[in-house]
Structure 1
């Protein structure tokens, strides 16, 4: 029965977070776009190939292309061809993309802090530790 209770609580937290993020990020950003921006800014050279996003987004290469098209049209990213191998396309973050990424991360942080503030600092650390154990099992 513990798995049923865990699933129910996980689903509620995930749903609340998704709903909050969709509402607060709109109309300039989506959660998928925020994920792309975060990955780009965490990459070694602030650039990635479109195929690099597949492992972070549960979607198809065609859907990633559509997502990147929308992001480029909105001014969040730029694409440029590699100077040595013109077949390679690099995705780069624009200043607007950096700003929107920071805004999105702050929105998520505030939401999660609201949830976590219901328990003590010690229990917050314990929760993160235990979730880490479950996720890495």
Structure 2
């Protein structure tokens, strides 16, 4: 693997800065509207999209962008707030599920219009359809390469 070129480095820095700015803007919009923050939204949407609105904690950890300890603290808080509940696994007594509650779904639905508006305003509107397709294509290539690399790491030698 060679050195990082100036083009690669400048593209990376611009990606990181732009991502952070968009996330910060959406977070501020959610806070201004007194809606759940993005980290909470990410957990709630992962559960909402899951079969029976529940996931094992390991599965949930793979779907959200948090450390295990960060997710544990967040899950504890969401449980105290009544947005999720823990459910013991019937198949594996040591295992447990995070389950979306009615209140969790309600808060998710309240946050979505603010989040959607932020996606449109801060991310999609400045781009043409062709630019959006190019961006999607580029991230698809990166995602597949990462998945392929991850799959190779998991295979026993």
Aligned length: 133
Choose 71-80 or 56-65, whichever is displaced more. Answer: 56-65
From 4, 11, 31, give the equivalent of 2:16: 11
Deviations 1:12-31 (A, max 9, x none): 43222221232233355221
Choose 66-75 or 9-18, whichever is displaced more. Answer: 9-18
1:1-137 alignment runs, 5 A limit: 2-26=7-31, 29-115=36-122, 116-119=124-127, 123-124=128-129, 126-137=130-141
Give secondary structure in 2 for the equivalent of 1:55.
helix
Cα root mean square deviation, aligned: 2.3
TM-score of the superposed pair, with normalisation by structure 2: 0.71
Give secondary structure in 1 for the equivalent of 2:63.
coil
Change (3 A) 1:6 1:103: farther
Q: Where do 5+ consecutive residues of structure 2 fail to align?
A: 1-5, 142-157
Q: Where do 5+ consecutive residues of structure 1 fail to align?
A: none
Q: CA deviation at 1:45?
A: 2.1
Say which one has the larger Rg.
2
